[in-house]
Structure 1
Amino acid sequence: MDLLYREIAEKIRKKIAGGRYSVNSKLPSEADLSGELKVSRPTIKNAVRVLVNEGVLSCVPSVGSFILRKPGERIIIGYIAPDLSDPFHTDMISCVEKLTNEKGYGLTVAASGETVEEESRAVVRLVKNGAVGVLASRSLNIALEKSRFKIPLVWCGGIPADSENDRVTIDNKKGMLLLVEHLISLGVKKIGYVEAEKKSKFMSERGRELKNILADKIIKVRDEWFVCSDVSGEEGEHNLFERFLKNGLPEAIICYNDLTAAGIINAALENKISVPERLKITGFDNIGLSRFFKVPITTVNYKIAVIAEQALELLLKRISGSRENTVTAIIEPELIVRQSTKLLE
């Protein structure tokens, strides 16, 4: 009798493989399967657990089991982010692809764009491409889509505060503190902040944490030195730097990320302002390109490879049916000092 549930699992596999139960659809209820296959519900429950552990089914408590893929098909992981051309996501995808290849899994990626509609279409593409779980970085409405498609989701990088999904991210407060203490050690007393993110009209957690840290360090914060814009790219960063020129330059500018820092450095150099002698500039993330910009950037190491590995591990556990409580993994940041704040030998 102990092997009966395995026989039932095999029968369900064959029905899925033959198209009787289609991928992305809900499996018949335990009661219906019990009647159809003429076995007890506990036997059905054990058979379903076997298929969940294989990544064929996903079980949603109080809702039911959903078919993720046909038996024998390669497990495919999805990755979704607003802009796949962003070097941060390029680095993250590279790490995830390396990890999935090592495990024999496939990877499909999609850009979620700048509207809820674009994001919804992107999630549909991932599911149609066979994704049985999704790694997500910053989202407009993806938690809703996850609920709709019944596939596991893990946040890596930017995460919504109200999400009930597993998440792996960096300690932004600690990262900002490392940058501030580094600048203070160089004698800096006047610090500004720049954030230029598409469709982001409100200051991020990094910006808010920086304001609090400066207040704790009794460093005066001038509102005109904290600039936030939803226009990114070369034009956006040059416009932001113009605002600094009009209001008087601080001694240092901390940027939301490395790409913004590169833009601010270019704008400073075009205005004959030397970096780091006259103005010190930092980034955040330590993307692969950060050491190759015109002036190599002092930054905070986001440890993308570590985040990718831990996020994928959590996702695979969820795909296998883990019902553990929501996991939040906070990665310790690391200061990387380069020429944008300090002349190095």
Structure 2
Amino acid sequence: GMEDSLLEDLRFRKVPLVFVDVGPDVPGVSNIRINYQNGIRQAVQHLAALRHTRIAFVAGPLHLKSALARREAFKQSMAEIGLRVAPELIAVGDHTMEGGMREFAKLMRLRNYPTAIVCSNDMTAIGVMREAYEYGINIPQDLSVVGFDDIRLSHFTIPPLTTVQMSQIELAKIAFEALMNEVQRESPALGKTEYPLNTNLILRRSTALAAVQNRRLKFPKGSRATSGKFPTGFEPTER
């Protein structure tokens, strides 16, 4: 968020301010509130319809408000349909491909692997898919993966990534509308003005019917799981 001193200076100068999801609760400020819950709920319900019950979530850095919101949206969505969130299936990444690879390796140390993984952003999901390839795991036959953000690269992964879309075009339109409203306002608003932005699931080809007894996966010879070549600091264990 913005430092208080800078915020006060801009407000004193009557500079119109529009925040995305982190707006302070003060008069004269517009905030675009992203509905993470809607898209993540759709993702969880989609996976449940495909008979997934052991669903993991790879969160982003927990000092980020948006990462916390996405993690809580996942937990709430699971609870809404009566699915238990096992503590070992909540991982904390860093919104990078490398982080996705690292957290996937940790999940592969469990005795019972997840049949699906929802990621806090697309870069994490791409890292999960890359590391799954090293293990000889086929997506989506062995493992379903869902991302978040619908970045351009998500169209070109193999297979194309199912993801939660937060429309950048719609975000820009709402931001412009909010800015113009602030410029044209004759008197300061009494409180913070909220503008909602929805999220929606985009179905591609990285999700499928849950694999049966996937904890008994037979890894191909030469894959990371059989070669023992785990990322630095990790050794396969059972839990």
TM-score of the two chains, using structure 2 as the length reference: 0.75
Asked if 1:337 corresponds to 2:194, the answer is: no
The CA deviation at 1:152 is 2.1
Q: Percent identity?
A: 27
Match of 1:280 among 136, 144, 168: 144
The CA deviation at 1:199 is 5.5
Q: Give the structure 1 partner of residue 103 of structure 2.
A: 240
CA contact (8 A) 1:280 1:341 kept: yes
The CA deviation at 1:304 is 1.5
What one-letter code is carried by the residue in structure 2 that aligns with 1:179? A
Match of 2:8 among 137, 141, 147: 147
SS at 1:308's partner residue?
helix
Q: Give the structure 1 partner of residue 129 of structure 2.
A: 265
Bigger drift between 231-240 and 281-290 goes to 231-240
What one-letter code is carried by the residue in structure 2 that aligns with 1:238? M
Partner deviation per Cα, 1:63-86 (whole Å, 9 max, x = no partner) = xxxxxxxxxxxxxxxxxxxxxxxx
The CA deviation at 1:332 is 2.7
Cα distance in 2, alignment partners of residues 311 and 232 from structure 1: 24
Cα distance in 2, alignment partners of residues 280 and 143 from structure 1: 43
CA contact (8 A) 1:193 1:256 kept: yes
- Structure 1 unaligned spans of 5+: 1-138
Q: CA RMSD in A?
A: 2.4
* Structure number having the greater helix percentage: 1
Give the 5 Å matches for 1:167-186.
Answer: 167-186=31-50
The CA deviation at 1:203 is 5.5
The CA deviation at 1:192 is 0.6
Structure of greater relative contact order (alpha carbons < 8 Å, 6+ residues apart): 2
TM-score of the two chains, using structure 1 as the length reference: 0.53
Cα distance in 2, alignment partners of residues 300 and 142 from structure 1: 31
The CA deviation at 1:198 is 8.5
The CA deviation at 1:207 is 0.5
CA contact (8 A) 2:60 2:68 kept: no
Match of 1:313 among 177, 181, 202: 177
The CA deviation at 1:232 is 4.2
Give the 5 Å matches for 1:142-221.
Answer: 142=3, 144-150=5-11, 151-156=15-20, 158-159=21-22, 162-164=24-26, 165-197=29-61, 200=64, 204-221=68-85
Change (3 A) 1:234 1:261: closer
CA contact (8 A) 1:154 1:311 kept: yes
Partner deviation per Cα, 1:8-50 (whole Å, 9 max, x = no partner) = xxxxxxxxxxxxxxxxxxxxxxxxxxxxxxxxxxxxxxxxxxx
CA contact (8 A) 2:99 2:124 kept: no
- Structure 2 unaligned spans of 5+: 210-239
The CA deviation at 1:142 is 4.2
SS at 1:315's partner residue?
helix
Change (3 A) 1:295 1:326: same
Cα distance in 2, alignment partners of residues 142 and 304 from structure 1: 25
CA contact (8 A) 2:25 2:192 kept: no
Match of 2:117 among 223, 242, 253: 253
What one-letter code is carried by the residue in structure 2 that aligns with 1:302? M
The CA deviation at 1:144 is 4.2
Q: Which structure would you say has the larger Rg?
A: 1
CA contact (8 A) 1:168 1:328 kept: yes
Change (3 A) 1:255 1:274: same
Change (3 A) 1:273 1:143: farther
Change (3 A) 1:203 1:303: closer
Cα distance in 2, alignment partners of residues 183 and 257 from structure 1: 17
